[in-house]
Structure 1
Amino acid sequence: MPSLLMAQTATLTGTVRDARQPVPFASVAVRGTTLGTTADASGHFVLREVPPGTVVLQISAVGYSTLSKEVNVTESQTLELPLTLTATPAALNEVVVTGVSRATEIRRSPVPIATLSRREISLNANTNVIDAAVRGIPGLSAVTTGPNVSKPFIRGLGYNRVLTLYNGLRQEGQQWGDEHGVEVDGYDIERVEVVKGPASLLYGSDAVAGVVNLLPALPSGPEGRVGGEVLNEYQTNNGLIGNSLGLNYQKNGFQTSFRASHRLAHDYRNRVDGLVYNTGFRELTLTGMAGVRKSWGESHWYLTLYDNQQEIPDGSRDSLSRRFTRQVGEGVNDDIKNRPLVQDNELNDYAIAPLHQRIRHYRVFTKTRLLLGGGELHLLLGAQQNNREEYNHPTVPAQAGLALRLNTFTYDVRYHLPTWQGLGISLGSNGMGQQNRHQNATDFPIPNYDLLDAGGFMLLKKPLGKLELSGGLRYDTRLVTWSGFYVAPNTETGFEGQASAGTVGAKLQFPSFRKQYNGVSASLGGSYAASDKLTFRANLARGYRAPNIPEIGSNGLDPGAHIVYLGNREFTPEFSWQQDMGVLWHSATLDASVEVFHNYVQNFIYQGRLLGPDGQPVVIVPGNVTYQFQQSAARLYGLEASLNWRPAALPWLAFNNNLAFVNGQNADAARQREEGDAARYLPLIPPLRTRHELRATLPATDGRLRATYLRTTLDVSARQDRFYALDNTETATAGYALVGLGAGTTWTSRTGRPVAQLFVQVDNLFDTAYQAHLNRLKYFEYHAGSATGRSGIYNPGRNVSVKLVVPF
């Protein structure tokens, strides 16, 4: 029962229950703000510093539908709140903040948005947080290079077209590279929100395909007591060992948290290749936060440190035995066909091989929300540094081939004006400054560069009965500059190195460059609640993306990717026109949705192999292919659908299904005539994919076990015949089906407090041999044919994961 304890702000108290008993550790929050708390083991909560007026409480817990309750907070009233939750989740009622001007329910957003909770992440065996999101969100896929390197793609578009955020801060870490992933601690992520479609309106360039926002948890639990968890994980396929310690504390509005995580793994295994050489990794992350939450708003400071040593596979092997071989020489001294065999002890070793990359990422930022002038001011300021080194010289293991240091300073300011006659108005601006510099390196695929980026926007939202309209406009500008970049032989290293123009033997690899890019983004859409169960929504958006640095400036070898990239300084920005339409049905027993989209992209930039006058592929660096960026028109269309059924007669049973399909085609008629049918489709388009899950969650009893579940999953990927076939850049990929089994439970104390959570998952139960179409290792092959008839490297085989979480 809430009561008003202060004249200017209120303290709300109450107990969260289900039909039988209190719900421990339920989350209670005020919609549209970051005010929130967590109930204790008996379901009792205290929510302080609530401003007077009409607020909407959002009450949620794992395994229950989210409850929204409107409360009129005044000095003179005491309100009775029946905070009773209903079992089983209902994702369409979840409140999101990514991709919309204010907090809103997923089904009322005209822009397609999907979410994934930490509970769902924990159910699966993942080696990184992007793979976890891919499993749970249709329309999201990933280009992979081994088990710990995944780059998100949304509806067939990725790299600098998808903006990855960490708690709202854009992630900047050489996104153009193929061979490293997102520098975030997956154990620290409480929730993933994904915008599917142009989000340029809110974030500017690089969000033309969508946004992946990785949200860490804020402190929870009783005030004045240190809480947290210990997490341990083991996976059999690559021997992954993961350990994480999380701590949090809050009292009188002060909040702080800390997490330290460490993971290591040796080479992964499949039944075609055995143990795949040089796919192990070792990763350490530290995350700290301190902040305050008061009646005037809140402010939080974050500091993260990420250190990853990631081995670099190249796929070389003996042509007859198909055993992997190891590079020991360089240049003319590297006889690829007669490299020594890798020994078995090297494949099972947790030690990092000499040929590897090391990525260190440091991030500090602050998020502030102020109640100002009847509205809300949101401010985010951040700085981050990404150090990327690739050690690819077997004769000089300590010499980095690639060594880049990227410094990025980011700002984001937004003001949500007071609602006027139902009209919500948001104004904002965000941008960044970047400086990217080569360190002591021998390979220079891109120039040193400086970048300045800024944009401003206005968003409007207006409810008209059952119809809710929203739209906005944005303008962006980006300035990219670099000076002439010279390389010359370095007598100390024996390789080429960065040099001044007057150095003997110096050659100009990157002529100086200065160019400004500008773009306008816009969006108009709406949702119509035909009933409390049925919602229609549609959106039209114009997206903008400035060319990234490799696309305009690359001229060299990316050693980890084994590709020589050549850019085009004359490229113009990409502009997309995307139409989205969706139908959503939501009831106590059935959630269903169908989302269709069409996206036409002007000046689409993609990679194609460079051919010589004889029509044969150009080889600039032996053992590496040469790609040149090209620009054309492109068209993408497809759909996502889901059907989640919870039969009323069997409330403990859930049958979840989803489907995603995208077709990407070259829309330039002239280029089609020039290059033929082989260039009809775009590269890196995922095949038709479906996922099915049958989950049984045992009803709660008076015993010590809670949330006990059994599940079986089926992931099906269809054959991909629609691929970029020009110059054998891609090949067809066979379809496959993967079966998984899982089980888990929560052990509680006599008072109902969780003591330990256990998750067991078996993936690829039948050890199916398969190659995902977006797996880059599929093309890591040195021989025209093989004794087995199989080419390239296959995806991981059967994997058993055991995860234990002990909260305290």
Structure 2
Amino acid sequence: MRHTLIIILTLATLTVSAQKNSLKGTVKVNNIPLAYATVALSGTKHGTTTNDKGFYELKNIAPGEYTVLFSSVGYYTERIKVTISNGAITTLHAELKEGNSKLNEVVVTGVSRATELRSNPVPIVVLSKKEIDQHVNNNIIDAIVKGIPGVTAVTTGPNISKPFIRGLGYNRVLTLYDGIRQEGQQWGDEHGIEVDQYGIARAEVIKGPASLTYGSDALAGVINLIPYIPNGQDGKLNGDIITDYHTNNGLIGSSLGLSYKKHDWKYAFRATGKMAHNYQNKVDGYVYNSAFQEYILSGMARVDKKWGYSQFAVTTYNNKQEIPDGSRDSLTRGFTVQVAEGVNDDIKSRPFAPQKWLTSYGVTPLHQHIQHYRVYNKTEIKLGEGIFASALGWQQSVRREYNHPTQPGQAGLYVTLNTLNYDLRYSPKVINGWETSFGVNGIAQTNRSKDATDFPIPDYNLFDIGSFLFIKKSVGKADISGGIRYDTRNINWGDFYVGANPVNGFEQKVKANTPGGKLQFPGFKHTYHGISGSLGLTYNVSERVLLKANIARGYRAPNITEIGSNGLDPGAHIVYLGNRTFKPEFSLQEDLGFIAYLKDADLMLEVFNNQISNYIYQSRLDDANGNPVIIVPGNTTYQYQQSKARLYGAEFTFNLHPHNAKWFELNNSAAYVIGLNQNEKLIAQSNGAAKDLPFIPPLHVRSEVKLKLQGTYGIFSKVYFRAEADAYATQNKYYALNDTETLTPGYTLINAGIGSTLKAKSGKTICEVFLQADNLFDVAYQSNLNRLKYFEYYNASPDGRSGIYNIGRNLSFKVIVPF
């Protein structure tokens, strides 16, 4: 591999062209400059966005004939052919027409080259910054859940959301940050995504196996969070200030973004801070220990040259998140505070949480402290008409979970995860319409326990590598693409002993020969292998109507907690028991899609069938008498199981936007998935209690009416009003064995919002304002994917309600001030 890299880089040096050919011009709508429109050369990596005056420029283009794509959300894409001559500066202007089609948007996730969405047979959805901004959220995953049918999230309070795609989650959904896979202890229920929601310019979501270009952990799909890359006026400092406030939990969010562009260099910086006190609902009142504090810094420098580009970026994330445990008074249902441990702890005698704690922005001693650091580089080098691309990164995730009230400074869980990311790929010249790409990527990872008292997973070493080949060609009205991949993953750890800590009275990691030490994790070493691939077709019935079909085989190696866990995760209040004999998961998924972006309406129907072998899932553990197994008092015990499984379902979208009534929109979507456990023996033994898979969302229907006022009203322009009904059906198909899950009643949330852009007389934007009301009628509800639903100490309660409920009515206000 080292010699290959040397050869490639040498060739890059020898073949760099000295051409200074460029393409420039303006993009307008109704003769008005359009800012931030996308300009790209089809089939190449050349692309940019227009500045605030609608101007663009593409430099260092090889001579030849190209098709230039001009696109922007809310407008129809314009295609113009152009010939670039040697040593020439070519001028090309474009005029876009208003429209709602997204088919011609250019995507970068899961493809060899930047590709129009219409030609990709894999189900992929794009969420723009405008759409993210219009839905005020606690985190970026919540924005994606609201905007994309088929995507849901397991939550542990308002600030922790783990994405699920079509009923599959955890390590089956691969989250990327700017194309670099996010690594940060994804195995836990209460482990969220360590990303700045205010710094994301775009989210691209693949629904279905995406193992071809990413390898293991993309079995359910990919969420690529793409940060903002500045493209403002040359030599001028640009930026924005974002202020966000929520009434329910008092969330205060502030973010400052700065960008600067000078000649070939671009720089960006963002600082974000968020804090919130405990959230509330009308059943629980304030939910004790759900407050959080979050601080994020990020910086980027990028240089664009005739040979390509190179981009360097750094991010730091610091989060303190309280840990709710559901401790209550048995009669009043008021939340109580654990002040003692072991035999000295009587849950019925715990004191009530003081009122001032419930609305305090401070963080209690029982909390998680998560720090995530990332440094990475992305480089593209032009080799003639081919492209060599590399992505190299380092990440460190430090997680502490404090759960000892008598010794608040002593972490129960303290783990440090170090990850090296690498991705090398080459896309040769397009020959006779054949686009190809091949490469190698993976990770090297180590995880180490520090000064802790609980050890749910061993100290492990992991090395992952995979190679792939991707091919695409257009034949008449059909776009065909597919490829094949081979992966190998080695994971190992040595004997892991624990023993008594005389200093604090808890357990600690000890050496093998320590008197009284016990072996918690016997040594383990195994290598997993997997072959994955896909083949798909998009048929262009017309410019606006498409048929899509795709079949894909996905692969996922078992994660560390599934094969190695044997201890308490304090933040989840769960003792996990793994199984080191587990085999890798393999899925075979078929997708069919019909998409029509018509003049007055959008119509999309996607159906899928997913057969998974060696599916791994959690199940609560009971003893022979049917009583829950309690290894650590006050915490439930889960044991991982493995069996065949099948998931199938559909997503449907119907958006009405009459051409003759531009002020009106009616947006509707529905998503439904069935998850079946195919372990016939277990189903028979449990009298059908195990027939459904856990964590499957119910039927979800969303309907939104949006009114957009045309014209301007003083300083107000682009004024809109929206009202939304968000309905979840009763989930009576659940994994009932040992009460792992229980029935979840259906509910409907009514949301409303208003927004506007404020402009000065000169036409310059002053700010954007968004006012939103979620759960307007303060419905008391529990999502079936809310893990707090199961945080309950008693078998019965005076009000007949069990567990913790989701957030109640919330009014939010957000202002974005550009400069």
Class of the TM-score when normalised by the shorter of the 2 chains: over 0.9
Give the TM-score, by structure 2 length.
0.96
The reply to whether residue 667 of structure 1 matches residue 678 of structure 2 is yes
Where do residues 393-542 of structure 1 align in structure 2 (5 Å cutoff)? 393-542=404-553
Task: Please give the secondary structure, in 2, of the residue aligned with 1:727.
Answer: helix
Supply the RMSD in Å over aligned alpha carbons. Answer: 1.7
2:12 alignment partner in structure 1: none
How far off is 1:749 after superposition? 3.1
Task: Please give the secondary structure, in 2, of the residue aligned with 1:524.
Answer: strand
- Which one-letter code corresponds to 1:525 in the other structure? G
1:38, 1:221 within 8 Å by CA — same for their partners in 2?
A: no
How far off is 1:269 after superposition? 0.9
1:123 alignment partner in structure 2: 134
* Cα deviations by residue, 1:649-675 (Å, 9 ceiling, x for unpaired): 201222111111100001122232233
The reply to whether residue 636 of structure 1 matches residue 662 of structure 2 is no
Runs of 5+ unmatched residues, structure 2? 1-16
How far off is 1:110 after superposition? 1.0
Deviates more, 1:610-619 or 1:177-186: 610-619
- 2:787 aligns with one of 754, 776, 785: 776
Within 2, Cα distance between the matches of 1:680 and 1:214? 35
Where do residues 573-612 of structure 1 align in structure 2 (5 Å cutoff)? 573-612=584-623
Task: Please give the secondary structure, in 2, of the residue aligned with 1:9.
Answer: coil
Deviates more, 1:418-427 or 1:297-306: 418-427
1:805 alignment partner in structure 2: 816
Within 1, Cα distance between the matches of 2:114 and 2:75? 21
- Which one-letter code corresponds to 2:812 in the other structure? S
How far off is 1:748 after superposition? 2.0
Within 2, Cα distance between the matches of 1:744 and 1:201? 41
The reply to whether residue 748 of structure 1 matches residue 759 of structure 2 is yes
- 1:720 aligns with one of 706, 716, 731: 731
How far off is 1:7 after superposition? 8.3
1:644, 1:656 within 8 Å by CA — same for their partners in 2?
A: yes
1:602, 1:633 within 8 Å by CA — same for their partners in 2?
A: yes
2:631 alignment partner in structure 1: 620
1:237, 1:799 within 8 Å by CA — same for their partners in 2?
A: yes
- Which one-letter code corresponds to 1:608 in the other structure? S
- Does the C-alpha gap of structure 1 residues 39 and 107 become closer, same or farther in structure 2, counting only changes over 3 Å? closer
Deviates more, 1:193-202 or 1:49-58: 49-58
Within 2, Cα distance between the matches of 1:220 and 1:773? 43
2:327 alignment partner in structure 1: 316
- Which one-letter code corresponds to 2:483 in the other structure? G
- 1:690 aligns with one of 693, 696, 701: 701
1:107, 1:584 within 8 Å by CA — same for their partners in 2?
A: no
- Which one-letter code corresponds to 1:377 in the other structure? F
How far off is 1:31 after superposition? 4.4
Within 1, Cα distance between the matches of 2:741 and 2:557? 26
- Does the C-alpha gap of structure 1 residues 61 and 753 become closer, same or farther in structure 2, counting only changes over 3 Å? farther
Task: Please give the secondary structure, in 1, of the residue aligned with 2:103.
Answer: helix
Within 2, Cα distance between the matches of 1:42 and 1:298? 24
1:3 alignment partner in structure 2: none
- 2:75 aligns with one of 47, 64, 67: 64
* Cα deviations by residue, 1:3-42 (Å, 9 ceiling, x for unpaired): xxx9823333323222253334434344455544443444
Task: Please give the secondary structure, in 2, of the residue aligned with 1:120.
Answer: helix
1:704, 1:752 within 8 Å by CA — same for their partners in 2?
A: no
- 2:559 aligns with one of 530, 548, 557: 548
* Cα deviations by residue, 1:677-722 (Å, 9 ceiling, x for unpaired): 1000000000110111211222234954332211111111111011
The reply to whether residue 569 of structure 1 matches residue 580 of structure 2 is yes
Within 2, Cα distance between the matches of 1:446 and 1:204? 23
Within 1, Cα distance between the matches of 2:38 and 2:672? 35
How far off is 1:761 after superposition? 0.8
Within 1, Cα distance between the matches of 2:257 and 2:235? 17
Within 2, Cα distance between the matches of 1:179 and 1:702? 46
Where do residues 341-360 of structure 1 align in structure 2 (5 Å cutoff)? 341-360=352-371
How far off is 1:609 after superposition? 1.8
The reply to whether residue 735 of structure 1 matches residue 740 of structure 2 is no
2:106 alignment partner in structure 1: 95
How far off is 1:78 after superposition? 8.2
The reply to whether residue 228 of structure 1 matches residue 247 of structure 2 is no
* Cα deviations by residue, 1:344-383 (Å, 9 ceiling, x for unpaired): 1110000001100000000000001111142111100000
2:318 alignment partner in structure 1: 307
1:467, 1:526 within 8 Å by CA — same for their partners in 2?
A: yes
- Which one-letter code corresponds to 2:438 in the other structure? L
Within 2, Cα distance between the matches of 1:67 and 1:400? 58
- 2:338 aligns with one of 314, 327, 347: 327
Within 1, Cα distance between the matches of 2:395 and 2:731? 39
Within 1, Cα distance between the matches of 2:574 and 2:75? 49
1:764 alignment partner in structure 2: 775
* Cα deviations by residue, 1:198-236 (Å, 9 ceiling, x for unpaired): 011111111111101000011121111111111111110
How far off is 1:262 after superposition? 0.3
- 2:123 aligns with one of 103, 112, 121: 112
Within 2, Cα distance between the matches of 1:43 and 1:171? 34
2:195 alignment partner in structure 1: 184
Within 1, Cα distance between the matches of 2:652 and 2:480? 24
Within 1, Cα distance between the matches of 2:130 and 2:195? 18
Within 2, Cα distance between the matches of 1:79 and 1:503? 76
Within 1, Cα distance between the matches of 2:142 and 2:19? 46
1:66, 1:89 within 8 Å by CA — same for their partners in 2?
A: no
How far off is 1:69 after superposition? 3.4
1:9 alignment partner in structure 2: 20
Task: Please give the secondary structure, in 1, of the residue aligned with 2:98.
Answer: coil
Deviates more, 1:67-76 or 1:312-321: 67-76
Within 2, Cα distance between the matches of 1:782 and 1:32? 59
- Does the C-alpha gap of structure 1 residues 99 and 37 become closer, same or farther in structure 2, counting only changes over 3 Å? closer
- 2:146 aligns with one of 119, 135, 138: 135
Within 2, Cα distance between the matches of 1:477 and 1:522? 15
Deviates more, 1:570-579 or 1:102-111: 102-111
How far off is 1:544 after superposition? 0.6
- Does the C-alpha gap of structure 1 residues 175 and 546 become closer, same or farther in structure 2, counting only changes over 3 Å? same
Within 2, Cα distance between the matches of 1:547 and 1:187? 33
1:256, 1:289 within 8 Å by CA — same for their partners in 2?
A: yes
Task: Please give the secondary structure, in 1, of the residue aligned with 2:133.
Answer: helix
Deviates more, 1:188-197 or 1:249-258: 249-258
Within 2, Cα distance between the matches of 1:104 and 1:500? 54
Within 1, Cα distance between the matches of 2:214 and 2:251? 36
- Which one-letter code corresponds to 2:634 in the other structure? G
Task: Please give the secondary structure, in 1, of the residue aligned with 2:29.
Answer: coil
- Which one-letter code corresponds to 1:110 in the other structure? P
2:8 alignment partner in structure 1: none
- Does the C-alpha gap of structure 1 residues 110 and 26 become closer, same or farther in structure 2, counting only changes over 3 Å? closer
Within 2, Cα distance between the matches of 1:32 and 1:273? 55
- Does the C-alpha gap of structure 1 residues 233 and 679 become closer, same or farther in structure 2, counting only changes over 3 Å? same
2:30 alignment partner in structure 1: 19
- Does the C-alpha gap of structure 1 residues 249 and 31 become closer, same or farther in structure 2, counting only changes over 3 Å? farther
2:20, 2:87 within 8 Å by CA — same for their partners in 1?
A: no
Within 1, Cα distance between the matches of 2:599 and 2:715? 28
Deviates more, 1:25-34 or 1:376-385: 25-34
- Which one-letter code corresponds to 1:380 in the other structure? A
Where do residues 235-384 of structure 1 align in structure 2 (5 Å cutoff)? 235-384=246-395
2:454, 2:567 within 8 Å by CA — same for their partners in 1?
A: yes
- Matched pairs, number: 803
Task: Please give the secondary structure, in 2, of the residue aligned with 1:93.
Answer: coil
Within 2, Cα distance between the matches of 1:280 and 1:86? 47
- Which one-letter code corresponds to 1:463 in the other structure? S
* Cα deviations by residue, 1:283-321 (Å, 9 ceiling, x for unpaired): 000000011011211110010000000000001111111
Runs of 5+ unmatched residues, structure 1? 1-5
- Which one-letter code corresponds to 2:640 in the other structure? F
2:657 alignment partner in structure 1: 646
